[in-house]
Amino acid sequence: MNESNRRAIVWREIERLAFRPRKPQTWLGVYGRSFQSVWEEPPIVRFDANREFDIPFFKLICSYSIENADKYSVTFKDSSTDIGVWQIHVDPNYHSNSSLLAGLGKYPTQHRSDLIHDIEKVLESMLFHPRCHSHLEDAGVTHVQLSQNGGGLSSHEVRLGGGIENPYVFLFHIRYQFCLVSSEVRDQEKDRLISLFEANIRSKSSVNACELFKFK
C-alpha cells in the first residue's frame, strides 16, 4: 500500500475516533472549557451546536452553526463594525475530491513502523497547517505580536482552513490556530496529539473529549 492510501486511512481513523462524537453536546462542552490552556484570552460562553463567541485579541466574533458532522457554517465578523471578514459553508449534497477519496480498509500491519510518521503528516494537514487556508492578515485582521509575554506568535501564524469538511475538526483547528501564546505551547500540543492518536489507533479505542482536550 502506498503512502497516500495509508494516510487516507489514518485521516479517516482520526476523524472517526475523535471528531464524530456520539454526544456532540458533551464534546462541545469540554471544548469550550479547554481554552484556558491554549488562549491568552479564552471565551467564556457555553458552547453548543449554535454559538457566537468573541476573539478579543483579533477583535473578531465567530458564529457557527452545526447541523451534523457533514453540514455546518462558520462566519467571522469584525466586532467593531459587524462586517463579515471570512465565511465557510459545508453542504454534504455536493462532493469534494477528499469526500470521494475516503480511506478504505485497514492500516497495513507491515507498515506499523510508519504509523507515527503518517499520523504526524495527517495532523499537520488536518489541524496545524491546512493545505487550503487563508491568513487573517489577508482580510485586514492584524494582531500585535505577544513578544512581551514570552515570544508569542503573530497573526501571520493563523491559518484558517477553507477545505475542512467536518465541523468538529474545524472548531478544533481554530482552537490551535488562535493559540498565539508561544511556539512552545503549540509544539507541545502537536506532540501530545500525535502520541494520543498513535496510542488510540493502535489500541482501536475511541478518543473521548476529555482526552482530546486534555481536560480534567
CB distance 131 to 163 below 8 Å: yes
Q: What is the pLDDT of residue 56?
A: 86
Predicted confidence (pLDDT) per residue in 57-76, tens digit: 888 999 999 999 999 999 99
Q: In 70-114, where does DSSP find H-type helix?
A: 97-100
- 36-46 in b/e form (b: 16+ CB < 10 A) is ebbbeebbeee
* 69-76 long-range Cβ contacts below 8 angstroms, 24+ apart: 69/19, 69/20, 69/166, 69/167, 69/168, 70/165, 70/166, 71/167, 72/167, 72/170, 74/167, 74/170, 76/139, 76/160
How far apart are the C-alpha atoms of 182 and 198, rounded to whole Å?
25
How far apart are the C-alpha atoms of 195 and 197, rounded to whole Å?
6
Residue range of the domain that includes 185: 3-213
Q: What is the pLDDT of residue 147?
A: 37
Q: What kind and span of H or E run contains 199? A: helix 183-203
Which among 130, 101, 96, 95 has a CA at the least distance from the CA of 9?
A: 101
pTM over 0.75: yes
β-strand partners of 65: 50, 73
Predicted confidence (pLDDT) per residue in 60-116, tens digit: 999 999 999 999 999 999 999 999 999 999 999 988 887 777 667 788 888 888 999
For residue 125, give the C-alpha cell: 494537514
Q: Which residues of the chain carry a pLDDT beneath 50?
A: 145-150
Q: What is the pLDDT of residue 95?
A: 84
* Number of domains, the chain: 1
Q: What is the pLDDT of residue 132?
A: 92
